[in-house]
Chain A
């Protein structure tokens, strides 16, 4: 007997119970050896000897006083007639079971020898006659089949109606109650008869069958109440329930095993049906139920038991389920077999269902090409909102938003999801880089849809689209509209400010700066773009001579290959992010660097540039910083102790604000300026932006601060892997200050990490033409990636 699970030594009762079951099996005629379900229960090695265990299917809950001595005959294995499915022809079952047990079935070879049946018992034909008299042909036939399977030598009476008249009409009535399924009434009648005639004995067959029938009902009730331990317990003690004639019970037992974490035993139950029960509909339903209850690995061997492609449909369903799960969860992978199977059904089917499942799976697993294929197939078969939405998602991912927009336009209002996807298509369409002209028709309907849905993202993109084509008034309208729908949309406020700046509307611009300056550095930086643009020698830590310094820091050739390797490997890794183009940034904040230790060369480099600038502006003596006020703050800045300088700058600001010190206006400006610089040096961009608003600065200095803050935001975003944000800020900065080599390289790396290799190649190519090593390295990486992605 196969051992399917280890048995805890203490589970003696269960072993005993198996012993009961086992003995029951051995008592049955060879036909019933097909009850491999119980044989499939865990090891029965070490069973008590057959004679030592109680009789099979002993209705332990019956009052013993109601019982006669155990009958010689085996317990009746058939379910109660009231609920019986007609048993299959005994011969067919016998043949099948014989075939099954001759093979690998574990039950026959090592099982305890079946005790020889005592002298041929006579079947009790009472039930037979009862059913015949009632004209209940179905039950009559079931009973004949049952008796035949139990007593192979028995032949049914030619005419059951002519059988001898029941000598005891009271017993006849008991059988009628049994046949009608009135089990409580039957119990009461037995008790009544007992009370009247204490010596009277219930027919053993009736009592056994009653117990089995009651147990069957109880098992079904327990199964309905999800009391699966009870189900298993009842099945183990009443194994005569487990027959092909009552597959519902077998299914419930299988489910109970499955729900109590015994998939192997559940599989035994299903396997019993599949190897022993001939009814095609039972077999198919069994495979379907197994597919619901069992883990996938356990199902497969069962499906092997199908004849031909009997269970092909079940396999299809399993594949469907696996692909559907994978379509909802990117971490869930369908097996290649499942995918192939479903691809086959999806291709030959007339419907779109399977193609849709494959499409969603592909979308979820970042295979937009596959997604387009399957959604397009689905879409051709049924142009529905869902197939159109799927196809549009695939096309958006393939950077073909124009097609996505066209496919989904018709269905854009079908649901919230289609609406969102349509808007994503339009936003992507409008924001293509480089911009691609959109036909008037499409633009018109996009405008209408955006207006109808009040979609802020697409409205903003309409603004940028117009801005890109120099339609500044239209752009301003869209940015204004967006702000109306989404008042906190900084990007639209920036767009509006940009338009104002470009059109020279200083008043409108200053209103925007007043509104947004404390929240948006790039809007603040627009205050005097022309002044900035005209200052190639912008002071602060953002010198224009970055290239020589880049070279001095990365003179060794070793830096570039490492960069390429890591970037080409996977850009998402932190090393790739921090090492790559962030390095050439002269103005990067100390917080962002890979190694924040002060011994790093960068701070010292920066420190020098800082010092030289400050020495020029403020003539602060180096040394112990013994003086007070602003000079002390600047002195601390020179010593690269910005965190100590901050409270000093703050104190100066405070005193000036309170009027405690009658200093020059410039002191307040200087303090705010210094505070911003100190925050910048600590990498606290937000605080720097706030500090910069605490005193109005000369335009040049304001622009310088704004640019510095933006630059730091760029490097922060880049360092954190927020490449899109970095690009946005790069664009913003490009509006107010020239983009130097290092920032151009960083832009290239942003494109690279976003998979926009062509754009990266373009940027790197331009810079590499100057001989810049970083750019050359980037160029190599971008070209390599393009080859790799083909």
Chain B
């Protein structure tokens, strides 16, 4: 179970909209460094695993169901669905998922997506705040699909979202360009330990695409400072980053969340690897922690391993890391995808597609 994820809903429910989050103001237009990572390629996800994922988690109305989370949906799930459909070249599923996403979540005045949708609630949107990773996934997938399938209208929506992400979520905090997790609730005036960020919301592979859509935002610096933060935010004997990181002064685990390396932060190495930004210095600690092949939730202060993350999806992330760092082949049981629950299944496909794109010889 992913007890550690989706704290944001509970936190944000009480947060009153305060627009100002960081000390960000208009940045001087320095020469912009293009993001160094690369975007995903269509066709890297095979039809069979994709169809298994789609048939399991995508409802007929285009809703991606988080089955381990009372069947709710969220912008992250819709974004993953769109991205995976694009990677698998499934235009039909993409159209279906997008129809739901646009009608049900793309409602906010600022052009970002409401993050949580509950089938049991009426109205279904139970938290109209956004989630940066969901916003980025949706914009990124729309841009890829629109570009590659010749649907410029998708690109236009992606452009609007990229600009909104740049305006609302990319902030300067103490000289660093960071991604706020949501439009409200995480800034220095919102929380005693604010600003708080989530390093697993940095979807590095999306930045070069978003940089083309919204060039006035410093995506290159966002990438570079994100990598620096990933390198710096290492805690405890395991030297791993936390799910939620406070930038109130020197970076440390946020006090509003369990000080764990957990369900969120496992995506940090995954996203770095998928964007082609893997290097041993940045990823060595993850490889050491996952030497058994099974990641786990780690309590940072003493390095104690709490829940093992034994589902194949999590182990696939570890296998991808072993492949990229040491050329180790992906174990056969992980090569054949069988859906478990929504989240690890999603990571599984992202990792499989990543290996296929970057290091196909491990497969």
Taken together as a complex, chains A and B put the C-alpha atoms of A7 and B96 apart, in Å, by 39
- Total contacts A to B, CB within 8 angstroms? 93
B interface majority secondary structure: helix
Measured CB to CB, the nearest residue on chain A to B94 is A191
Is A490's CB within 8 Å of the partner chain B?
no
CB distance B103 to A214 under 8 Å? yes
Closest-by-CB residue of B relative to A228 is: B109
Flag whether B26 is at the interface (Cβ < 8 A). Answer: no
> When chains A and B are docked, how far (Å) is the Cα of A46 from the Cα of B22?
40
Closest A residue to B124 by beta carbon equals A221
Which of B123, B146, B151, B152 is within 8 Å of A224, CB to CB? B123
A187 within 8 A of B: yes
- With a CB–CB cut-off of 8 A, which chain B residues contact A297? none
Given contacts A182-B60, A188-B96, is CB(A217)–CB(B103) below 8 Å?
A: yes
Contact between B109 and A227, CB atoms less than 8 A apart: yes
Given contacts A65-B151, A182-B61, A184-B62, contact A224 B95 (CB under 8 A): no
Q: Is B188 an interface residue (CB 8 A)?
A: no
Q: Does B102 contact A (CB under 8 A)?
A: yes
B102 touches which of A61, A182, A224, A227 (Cβ 8 Å): A61
Q: Which A residues touch B48, using CB under 8 A?
A: none
Contact B103 A221 (CB under 8 A): yes
The verdict on B91 contacting chain A, using a C-beta distance below 8 Å, is: yes
Q: Are B61 and A191 in contact, CB atoms less than 8 angstroms apart? A: no
Contact of A187 among B98, B123, B150, B151 (CB under 8 A): B98
B106 within 8 A of A: yes
Q: A229 CA to B100 CA in the complex, in Å?
A: 20
Interface string of B87-130 (1 = CB under 8 A from A): 00001111111111011101111000010000000011100100
Let me know if A221 and B151 touch, CB within 8 A.
Answer: no
Most interface-central of B99, B100, B104, B151 (chain A CB within 10 A): B99
| Minimum C-beta distance from A63 to chain B (A) | 3
The answer to whether A185 and B153 have CB atoms under 8 Å apart is no
**Is A187 within 8 A of B107, CB to CB?**
no
- Contact indicator B99/A227 (Cβ below 8 Å): no
Query: In the complex, are the beta carbons of A230 and B96 less than 8 A apart?
Result: no
Q: Would you list which residues of chain A between 184 and 227 have a CB under 8 Å from chain B?
A: 184-185, 187-188, 190-192, 194-195, 214, 217-218, 221-222, 224-227
Contact with A along B52-96 (1 / 0, CB 8 A): 000000001110000000000000000000000000000111111
Nearest opposing residue in chain B for A181, CB measure? B61
- Given A221-B123, A225-B125, A229-B109, the answer on whether A191 and B154 have CB atoms closer than 8 Å is no
Q: Name which residue of chain B comes closest to A192, CB basis.
A: B92
- Given that A60-B156, A190-B95 are contacting pairs, would A65 and B150 also be in contact in the complex, using a CB cutoff of 8 Å? yes
Q: Is the CB of B114 within 8 A of A194?
A: no
Q: Does A52 contact B (CB under 8 A)?
A: no
Contact (Cβ within 8 A) B151 A66: yes
Check B6 for interface membership: any CB of A closer than 8 A. Answer: no
Asked if A62 is an interface residue, CB under 8 A from chain B, the answer is yes
Contact A61 B153, beta carbon cutoff 8 Å: yes
- Answer whether residue B289 sits at the interface, using C-beta atoms and an 8 A cutoff: no
Residues of B within 8 A of A554 (CB): none
The distance in angstroms between the C-alpha atoms of A183 and B62, with both chains bound, is 10
Chain B residue at minimal CB-CB distance from A260: B109
Task: A294 to B204: give the CA distance in the assembly, Å.
Answer: 47
A8 at the B interface (CB under 8 A): no
13 A-B residue pairings within 8 Å (CB atoms): A60-B156, A63-B153, A182-B61, A184-B97, A191-B92, A191-B95, A191-B96, A218-B104, A221-B123, A224-B125, A225-B107, A225-B128, A230-B109
List residues of chain B with CB under 8 Å of any chain A CB.
60-62, 91-100, 102-104, 106-109, 114, 123-125, 128, 146, 149-154, 156-157
